[in-house]
Structure 1
């Protein structure tokens, strides 16, 4: 027997089996059962259709981790629209590109970010604009709670599991952002996989510290909902709020970059108190390896259990885990060596590390190759970018997505990221394209040449650092200060992407053909570190 895998099944199941149980604690303190969440999603689906949205049309959601995001996402799914979550940390020019590239027909934007859309609405094809506080937003915006109250009657179209249902934009390494197309099938199977590996159950309470726009919250908008667990929403990561919910809402699971875990530890050191109410707490962390001190603090001092996972927007995202308990005891020192690796492939996921000819590297923990992956959670394609899609699946070995990360494999088959093939900086869990930062700095009239690399950072793992050749050629008299260049970057791009460190140099190391040798810059910058990739 074959049953189509559809993302609408997750909320359908929760309504059917957990309808009168609490589903969501909103950021305003309001609580919703699964029946009530379902009615809100129905209302949003009906409102979209009443405004001309049809199956396959793109609906963008620009929202922190609120209850509105969940209702808008499922309402879009139910109408057959393609959910397109937006990173609320971007700037107007980013949104203008994405809304045009995806051909977005409707947008829901939280009141705190709607002005970024209002400023470009005449430059994009979008016709429907909805927010959760129209009085707080300039321009002609409809009120979310009013539009969902119009009707809950909508027509759910026939949908197939191989049809695109989400587009998640990733910065990439060069050029414009890329829209990662994910189907009902890829989203559903990824949610099944994380339900297994992250041990999600109906009595879990999940705290939304991970942005929902990050690949649909790593699939947790599906998995947590489908299992009938509770969502506790947030408006970003605030340590006091996080600890309050851990102590009062029986939170049992949340996701956090290593820098967030460290931030929580620093807050507790300063303000005191218990980290939770005594319940078992799991924390999933991802990206580069968390420092051993971070794992030790979370597990030995707080009593939490760290699950280190790895992936990319294109892969679901999650494809590996170091939570392989047959390789360590929970109270032993040897667990750190395992938990700092990216680990083993998720069930149904094939992870390889290959050399330039596509051959598997030796499992000796020393030979470096590129990580490639094949699995049902991997994306369908990039939106309107067939050539880039083909390269991503064929560069070193046919039929595998190429991660762009360089790794080694140990004797147990566990991978450990050593460096990155592409010019991506991961700072506090956020991907930053060094090319984009360079382009911004190049536009300053006092910058003659520039190269941006990741620089070690105690809190964020790594941070963008720019090596700048000043227009006058004299690094001792550049004609502009480092602080002025940093502010210039912040004025022209999302703040989190801007460099935090500037070093003026007479020239950049280059090959005979004029290509900047960033590897040399990274090697010098990371000389005192164990590897040239940030831990966090």
Structure 2
């Protein structure tokens, strides 16, 4: 093999190459800003030097107990300081962090502990009852170190179920522990289970390189300044908090912890801590927009918010603007470390009316800086669809911000990466400006009398009704048409509206065949991350009463 001149006598060594890892971010934060505030939680104030020392103690304590490369450490924690510390301390000893969804049932948790082969688990006392049940349901005979985590802010019930508590574990570790970067940036840093809508959830494996790349991309997309004050409204168990535990460290920022998200707590935190940034599913932002006027007084202007999970309807964008909050719409999946594309705004959009701005901002946008690309492809030919805003294809990603694959599931991994792209399962179009816009999940298309109906299009219209807080549309089996749209609606408090009113509203904006043939009112079932669980709605759509039209 002939080496060209640029390879001759130019070796890759430790002097000129280091594996990319977000772990280097906290090392630098502690060096440069040792006395700056890192974590706020209740009365607790913790600096970057203290936080780094505690992360090293955690790494050391785990390492003394024999945990290292290739081992899994699970955590069942809300957005508290130990959860931030685990994002650094666990991978610092070489182990892989598995942040468990705190809203899951014992059966699902037991499956994850077994499938991920966890050797230790940190459990906040609030979740000790469900975790005790999950531990009893495990099929594995592997020994599992259970560590109780006490939180001064939690005053509710909760037994101790572990062998020792978190502070005692840390006390056994060395705050000057000599941790190392991974030998290879392709090494796993974390394991995140997808909320499986069918069958068992899949274990998505992240690598150090992707985690660092996504964290830096998030900083770039948001122009995140030094010492940003980040409020933890997004669960850290969800895609590792979209990699923000690592991003905040990179900026020497402040993590404002929040055990529970409710509008009062969020607005109080905004004012008290001068919050600059937060993320959340649409339901979180909607709860702020629709909060009583009294709660919203005196919040800082210019807070940056990120929304993902569904395109923000016009009413939300308008409500956010009135609050002085700048909303950035991002898109992604667990398999791409949370968001990996963003609807980048342009200055000339500011002059447009709210409806047009909402239409442009509702798109899933373009690739993150450090993601190689996002495209709409024809899944059968693996060719890009024309960028005409009309031709449907599947959104696909490729690049560094893409998972290693699904744990112990080579078939699913191969299918997901067929043709050298990650297949999202989301159907979309691409506009002439390159921006991508989701039309539907491939399984959410409603086929009525041979016509495709986008459930998202119908939902967008429903959200324009002033009484609607949340809406979801699924297929209802129909003898004549095969399927018809069935709308499930959660109304705003005190709203009075009938199914006939909703249908009449839809008729003004939609072709007749797209108008819902049944309307069901009530609270919508949601996943732990605020996404509406359409599979639950599909189970009951068949028995929903059709409206005589």
Q: Give 1:171 deviation, angstroms.
A: 2.4
Q: Which of 318, 325, 333 is the equivalent residue of 2:346? A: 325
Corresponding residue for 1:404? 425
Q: CA contact under 8 A between 2:127 and 2:158: conserved in structure 1?
A: no
Classify 1:144/1:465 alpha carbon distance in 2 versus 1 (closer, same or farther; 3 Å). Answer: farther
1:490-529 maps to which residues of 2 (within 5 A)? Answer: 499=536, 503=540, 505=542
Which shifted more, 79-88 or 149-158? 149-158
Classify 1:169/1:47 alpha carbon distance in 2 versus 1 (closer, same or farther; 3 Å). Answer: same
Q: Give 1:156 deviation, angstroms.
A: 2.1
Corresponding residue for 2:388? 364
Classify 1:259/1:158 alpha carbon distance in 2 versus 1 (closer, same or farther; 3 Å). Answer: closer
Classify 1:503/1:389 alpha carbon distance in 2 versus 1 (closer, same or farther; 3 Å). Answer: closer
Corresponding residue for 1:304? 325
Q: Does 1:74 align with 2:96?
A: no
Q: CA contact under 8 A between 1:40 and 1:148: conserved in structure 2?
A: yes
Corresponding residue for 1:291? 313
Normalised TM-score (structure 1)? 0.78
Classify 1:195/1:272 alpha carbon distance in 2 versus 1 (closer, same or farther; 3 Å). Answer: closer
Q: CA contact under 8 A between 1:19 and 1:33: conserved in structure 2?
A: yes
Q: Does 1:65 align with 2:65?
A: no
Q: Which of 95, 107, 111 is the equivalent residue of 1:93? A: 107
Classify 1:86/1:330 alpha carbon distance in 2 versus 1 (closer, same or farther; 3 Å). Answer: farther
Q: Distance in 2 between matches of 1:339 and 1:495?
A: 19
Q: Does 1:274 align with 2:282?
A: no
Q: Distance in 2 between matches of 1:14 and 1:268?
A: 39
Corresponding residue for 2:59? 45
Q: Does 1:83 align with 2:106?
A: no
**What number of residue pairs does the alignment pair up?**
457
Q: Distance in 1 between matches of 2:291 and 2:538?
A: 26
Q: Distance in 2 between matches of 1:30 and 1:55?
A: 32
Corresponding residue for 2:519? none
Q: CA contact under 8 A between 1:246 and 1:275: conserved in structure 2?
A: no
Classify 1:96/1:496 alpha carbon distance in 2 versus 1 (closer, same or farther; 3 Å). Answer: farther
Q: Distance in 1 between matches of 2:100 and 2:306?
A: 22
Q: Does 1:350 align with 2:373?
A: yes
Corresponding residue for 1:33? 47
Classify 1:275/1:499 alpha carbon distance in 2 versus 1 (closer, same or farther; 3 Å). Answer: farther
Classify 1:73/1:195 alpha carbon distance in 2 versus 1 (closer, same or farther; 3 Å). Answer: same
Q: Does 1:314 align with 2:299?
A: no
Corresponding residue for 1:152? 174
Q: CA contact under 8 A between 2:37 and 2:45: conserved in structure 1?
A: yes
Corresponding residue for 2:69? 55
Q: Which of 459, 463, 479 is the equivalent residue of 2:469? A: 459
Q: Give 1:72 deviation, angstroms.
A: 2.0
Specify the SS of the correspondent of 2:310: coil
Which shifted more, 362-371 or 306-315? 362-371
Classify 1:459/1:109 alpha carbon distance in 2 versus 1 (closer, same or farther; 3 Å). Answer: farther
Consecutive aligned runs of 4 or more in structure 1 exceeding 6 Å deviation: 463-469
Corresponding residue for 2:515? none
Q: Distance in 2 between matches of 1:152 and 1:402?
A: 44
- Identify unmatched segments of 5+ residues in structure 2: 1-15, 152-156, 446-454, 463-467, 480-521
Specify the SS of the correspondent of 1:241: helix
1:39-438 maps to which residues of 2 (within 5 A)? Answer: 39-122=53-136, 123=138, 124=140, 125-133=142-150, 136-152=158-174, 154-157=177-180, 159=182, 160-269=184-293, 271-274=294-297, 276=299, 278-299=300-321, 301-326=322-347, 328-329=349-350, 333=354, 334-348=356-370, 349-355=372-378, 356-394=380-418, 398-422=419-443
Q: Give 1:130 deviation, angstroms.
A: 0.9
Q: Give 1:150 deviation, angstroms.
A: 2.4
Classify 1:391/1:275 alpha carbon distance in 2 versus 1 (closer, same or farther; 3 Å). Answer: farther
Classify 1:22/1:416 alpha carbon distance in 2 versus 1 (closer, same or farther; 3 Å). Answer: same
Q: Give 1:12 deviation, angstroms.
A: 0.6
Q: Distance in 2 between matches of 1:468 and 1:106?
A: 50
Classify 1:216/1:272 alpha carbon distance in 2 versus 1 (closer, same or farther; 3 Å). Answer: closer
RMSD: 3.2
Q: Distance in 2 between matches of 1:256 and 1:304?
A: 13
Specify the SS of the correspondent of 2:237: coil
Q: CA contact under 8 A between 1:54 and 1:80: conserved in structure 2?
A: yes
Classify 1:297/1:96 alpha carbon distance in 2 versus 1 (closer, same or farther; 3 Å). Answer: same
Which shifted more, 325-334 or 241-250? 325-334
Q: Distance in 2 between matches of 1:464 and 1:94?
A: 26
Q: CA contact under 8 A between 1:132 and 1:143: conserved in structure 2?
A: yes
Normalised TM-score (structure 2)? 0.77
Q: CA contact under 8 A between 1:268 and 1:275: conserved in structure 2?
A: no
Q: Deviations over 1:127-164 (max 9, x none)?
A: 21112239932434421112212232545256221111
Classify 1:361/1:465 alpha carbon distance in 2 versus 1 (closer, same or farther; 3 Å). Answer: closer
Q: CA contact under 8 A between 1:254 and 1:283: conserved in structure 2?
A: yes
Q: Deviations over 1:341-361 (max 9, x none)?
A: 111222243111112322221
Q: Distance in 2 between matches of 1:496 and 1:68?
A: 29
- Identify unmatched segments of 5+ residues in structure 1: 425-452, 470-485, 509-520, 529-536
Q: Distance in 1 between matches of 2:314 and 2:89?
A: 42
Q: CA contact under 8 A between 1:207 and 1:254: conserved in structure 2?
A: yes
Q: Distance in 2 between matches of 1:10 and 1:3?
A: 14
Q: Distance in 2 between matches of 1:354 and 1:127?
A: 44
Classify 1:319/1:260 alpha carbon distance in 2 versus 1 (closer, same or farther; 3 Å). Answer: same
Q: Give 1:100 deviation, angstroms.
A: 0.5
Classify 1:273/1:103 alpha carbon distance in 2 versus 1 (closer, same or farther; 3 Å). Answer: closer
